[in-house]
Chains A and B, each alone.
Chain A
Amino acid sequence: MTQLIGGFLDVLNLSTLVWIAVGVTVGYVLGVLPGLGKATGVAVSIPLTFYLGPVAAIAMLIGIAKGSTAGSAVSAILLNTPGEPSSAPTALDGYPLARQGKAQKALKMGLFASVIGDFLSTLILICLAAPLAQYALLIGPVELCAILVFSLTFIGGLSGKSLTKGLIAGALGIFFATVGLETETFIPRMTFDLLELDDGIPLVPMAIGMLAVAEMAIQAGNMRALDMEMAQIADSGNPDDRRVTRDEWRRCAVPILRGTLIGSVIGILPGLGASVASFLSYGATRKASDDPDSFGTGRIEGVAAAESADNAVVPSSLVPLFALGIPGSVIAAILIAAFVLHGLTPGPLMFEQNPRMVAAVYAAMLCASLLMLVIGYFGQSLFAQVIKVPMRLIIPPVLFLCCIGAYMESGSVFAIWIMLFFTVFGFFAKKLDFSFVTFLIGYVIGPSIELTFRQSLQILDHKWTNLLVHPIALVFIVLTAVTLVLLARAQTTGKNARTKPRPTGAEPQPSTQGRNR
């Protein structure tokens, strides 16, 4: 608690608060624009934080992540086009509400649910990460290697439609992580005699290329149809249709709390992601309702359930990162680069080595939640105008910022080449459904996997039977095998079900993917 108070003292100054506010605002705008999500925003912004203090820099990036998650509801409600796939269930009831002239009501409830979910989930992070980290310190290289392999398998299996493709993405991620000087022998690996590659492939240009530039290419390909989708949403004249009434608060309280719980649990589990959480929460609220059939026609509870879960995922997804050093989501993977850059190595040791900084990060996260409420509430109608800007005016500045972001990483044009290489890679990965999330996480944890694998071989004396004296590792190896079998069976069953002819008149199943512009 003392550390947390110290953390608040570090954060509660004008400079840091302004940077958090900038982060939340930028994130909100990025979230409103379909296709430009939190991962893109954070990846592009990391180089911009080089010149900020550590607390201000991390606080700003966290502000972007939080603001973007909340902002994605705006386009979901106004355009029926989620800013991020995780806001797709928000559109199910938010868009009908907007069509009824209740856009302001839906936007406000979306914001309130987002802030509550985010704030409570941050508290869960604060309560859980440090105690979990104490257990993590008892884990040795053999156990850590098994846990990392299990996490990557789990993420690979769940982050796309195909287990095989997920595993390929993870393996490629680890492969690319081996480029550069090998840490024990200093032998260059796949550097092609390029000195720039001796330190490995830089994460920031890679992430910018895969996430931002590749997404812009896809958006540019669909630009004409997307611009035509812009709808004119007229507000109702009734003041009650522009605010959240007491009765609506009463009806939404339980869905919000349920959504927060679902989002927090899903966030802690690596790989499941915000889309799973928001759909689960929406489904649970619909199921618990007296009138489930009315969902999809403009029920405010649907918006509250989806948005609270969506936003609860962001803070809780940092639990495995802080406690174990394992990024459970793409945003956590990208944030690792920012944390390391600013002197904080995520993992169990950071609570011992840098408690004040961790406390400042927690304080910044709580402040970001509150600033999100203020900025979202007063700026919502302004941010809503952003969706009316045609994509052709958005794409060139984004490309320009991507180049600056990549260039600033190393101060060299080589970083832009890296960005362009991974743009092509990311474009095909996205379109062919090879999980780029698994690729990036594989890339980030690749060095740890290799190091612990080497250490494990020495500790085990190259004899697999010695694993018997490492029961935790054994448990995770068994879990990995079970996960592989279960996921493979589930996907085979799902595929068989899809290929069977549907009976006449059967309703199509709702997609779990958001309609990305």
Chain B
Amino acid sequence: MRRANVLSGAALAVFGLLMLIFVIPAQIDQGPPGMMSPRLVPSLMMGLTTVLAVLLCATNLRSVEDDDGPISRAELLALGKFGVLFAVAYAGYALIGPLAAGVVILLGGLLMLGERRPLYLVLLPVVVLGGTYLLFYRLLGTPIL
């Protein structure tokens, strides 16, 4: 965890400095004179984040604790797969429609996670999509799309 703390502290400190120096001045106007600046609270919070991030980094650099990585490769891979799945689903939504996006998330999700049994690959999307249709369009009487 020590290495992860140092890295996350450093990343947050850089993020905080970038926000303070570039993003906040560019994205928030000073506001009319005589009123409290709209930048005040965002700047205060980013300043606090930066100081604490530097503190996190510094204390962990001195620490002699164990150095187990908190994130496994499989977890990062799963996060990446989720990214691909949602990207394909969005493409399906934009090119075909919401039903395609739903099918991609359900069927693609099953395939991505290792499900290969045809019955489940067919049944689960049908049941979930059908159930959603029944819930919103029939039971609640409110189309969601």
Residues on A lying within 8 angstroms of B by beta carbon are: 48, 50-51, 162, 164-165, 167-168, 171-172, 174-175, 178, 182, 184-185, 187-192, 213, 216-218, 220-223, 391-393, 395-397, 399-400, 403-404, 407-408, 413, 416, 420, 423-424, 427-428, 431-434, 449-450, 453-454, 457, 495, 498-499
- The reply to whether A221 and B49 contact each other, CB–CB distance below 8 Å, is no
A182 vs B5: C-alpha distance when bound (angstroms): 34
- The reply to whether B45 and A223 contact each other, CB–CB distance below 8 Å, is no
Query: In chain A, what residue has the closest Cβ to B32?
Result: A185
A interface, by DSSP: helix, strand, loop or mixed?
A: helix
A363 vs B76: C-alpha distance when bound (angstroms): 45
Quick one: which of B61-87 are within 8 Å of A by CB?
63-65, 70-72, 74-79, 81-83, 85-86
A48 vs B48: C-alpha distance when bound (angstroms): 37
A397 vs B132: C-alpha distance when bound (angstroms): 11
Select one of B52, B75, B102 contacting A167, CB under 8 A: B52
Contacts of B83 in A (CB 8 A): 420
- The reply to whether A450 and B113 contact each other, CB–CB distance below 8 Å, is no
Select one of B41, B72, B109, B135 contacting A450, CB under 8 A: B41
- Is B91 positioned at the interface, with any CB of A under 8 Å from its CB? no
Per-residue CB contact flags for chain B residues 23-64 toward chain A (1 = under 8 Å, else 0) read 110011101100110110110011011001101100100011
Quote the shortest CB–CB distance from B118 to chain A (angstroms): 14
Query: In chain B, what residue has the closest Cβ to A214?
Result: B79
A517 vs B70: C-alpha distance when bound (angstroms): 15
Listed from nearest, the 9 A-B pairs whose CB atoms lie closest are A396-B109, A221-B75, A392-B113, A220-B78, A221-B78, A175-B45, A182-B38, A221-B74, A190-B27
Quote the shortest CB–CB distance from A391 to chain B (angstroms): 8
Per-residue CB contact flags for chain B residues 96-121 toward chain A (1 = under 8 Å, else 0) read 00000110011111100111000010
- The reply to whether B124 and A168 contact each other, CB–CB distance below 8 Å, is no
Quote the shortest CB–CB distance from B34 to chain A (angstroms): 11
Select one of A48, A189, A222, A424 contacting B75, CB under 8 A: A222
- The reply to whether B38 and A220 contact each other, CB–CB distance below 8 Å, is no
- The reply to whether A220 and B128 contact each other, CB–CB distance below 8 Å, is no
Select one of A164, A185, A431, A454 contacting B70, CB under 8 A: A431
- The reply to whether A164 and B102 contact each other, CB–CB distance below 8 Å, is no
